[in-house]
Amino acid sequence: MSDAASAIAIEDLRFRWQPTRDWVLDIPRLAIARGESVFLAGPSGSGKTSLLSLITGIAQPTEGCVRILDTRIDHLRGAARDRFRADHFGIVFQLFNLLPYLSVLENVLLSCEFSAARAQRAARRSGTPAGEAVRLLGRLGLTDPQLHRRPATELSVGQQQRVAAARALIGSPPVIVADEPTSALDADLRTEFVTLLLQEVVEAGSALLFVSHDRQLAAAFDREVDLRRFAPAPTPP
Ligand SMILES: Nc1ncnc2c1ncn2[C@@H]1O[C@H](COP(=O)(O)OP(=O)(O)OP(=O)(O)O)[C@@H](O)[C@H]1O
Ligand SMILES: [Mg+2]
């Protein structure tokens, strides 16, 4: 696969959080195609969240290169990197990162506040960004308009997880990364959530990198990547 076809292209990546710490990741090559859905597995502490931080430019590689679409995100800094992230990524964080002083609806619309491109795409889909936010929340089982107006952190953890997913999906970003987005959902809701997420992702043509410990979900994705493949060699004493 050529890099031009990739949503995410990683080469010769090595990463540690601090110079005195052990290597967390050593990935010679990993490419995810535009529109491809990938299930990312690996034991706790194997570096899944670290890898998502590198892909989204929240952390910098110690060595090597991370390309998103046609852009070296590891070369972007400051405001340019924040803008690139807002325009191109939907991110479901492991701990959601919903803003407690905003309502459910405002949290979902936040992605459109930070990116005019996403606001336009959301409006194209449902008339207005708010209309698209309501559509996505409804698709994820949050249909009650009163609930949309409540502060996001007053919701149950499983409901917050779905608000975080709607915030990632709105405005059809070309790359969606989701860090254990089903951990708080019961088994039935989990399968339904993944089915809906994949439908939305296919309709939007987005690439999806989905982290989970739940191997039963893996079959629904185009491909599975296990981070154990990339475990760094132990540092010699
Ligand atoms: N902000 C940070 N600063 C320093 N070290 C970190 C930081 N975040 C993670 N680490 C370390 O990096 C390693 C990988 O952590 P990471 O969170 O990427 O694992 P993970 O695979 O996502 O685990 P889990 O399944 O528990 O979420 C761990 O050894 C962890 O202690
Ligand atoms: Mg993690």
Could you read off the pLDDT of 9-27 as tens digits, one per residue? 999 999 999 999 999 999 9
Q: How far is the CA of 45 from the centre of ligand 1 (A)?
A: 5
Instruction: List the CATH code of the domain at 36-63+78-225.
Output: 3.40.50.300
Instruction: Work out the number of other CB atoms within 10 angstroms of the CB of residue 133.
Output: 28
Q: What is the pLDDT of residue 54?
A: 98
How deeply is 233 buried, as exposed, middle or buried, from its count of CB atoms within 10 A (0-12, 13-18, 19+)?
A: exposed
149-193: pLDDT as tens digits: 999 999 999 999 999 999 999 999 999 999 999 988 888 889 989
- Atom 8 of ligand 1 has which residue's CA nearest to it? 50
Q: Does the beta carbon of 48 lie inside 6 Å of ligand 1?
A: yes
Q: Rounded to an integer, what distance in angstroms lies between the CA atom of residue 234 and that of residue 61?
A: 18
Report the range of poorest mean pLDDT among 47-51, 96-100, 121-125, 217-221.
96-100
* Cβ 99 vs Cβ 110: under 8 Å: yes
DSSP 74: G
Give the number of whichever ligand sits closest to the CA of residue 178: 2
- R_g of the chain computed on alpha carbons: 18
> For helices 104-114 and 116-126, what crossing angle results, to 10°?
120
Which two structure tokens, joined as six digits, stand for 201? Answer: 């992702």
Residue minimizing CA distance to atom 9 of ligand 1: 50
Helix locations, the chain, DSSP H: 48-55, 78-88, 104-114, 116-126, 129-139, 145-148, 157-169, 187-204
**Residue 47 near ligand 1, beta carbon < 6 Å:** yes
What is the structure's pLDDT at 236? 67
Of 156, 157, 139, 138, the C-alpha closest to 148 is 138
What is the C-alpha to C-alpha distance for residues 112 and 142, in angstroms, rounded to an integer?
20
For residue 60, report the distance from its CA to the centre of ligand 1, in Å.
Answer: 14
Signed CA dihedral, 40, 42, 47, 50: sign only: positive
For ligand 1, the distance from its centroid to the CA atom of residue 163, given in whole angstroms, is 24
pLDDT digits (tens, 9 = 90+) for 94-143: 888 999 999 999 999 999 999 999 999 999 999 999 999 999 999 999 99
Q: What is the DSSP letter of 60?
A: -
Residue nearest atom 27 in ligand 1 by C-alpha distance: 44
Separation of CA 143 from chain center: 23
Q: Measured in angstroms, how far is the CA atom of residue 92 from the centroid of ligand 2?
A: 12
Nearest CA to ligand 1 atom 5: 17
- Residue 76 has a pLDDT of 97
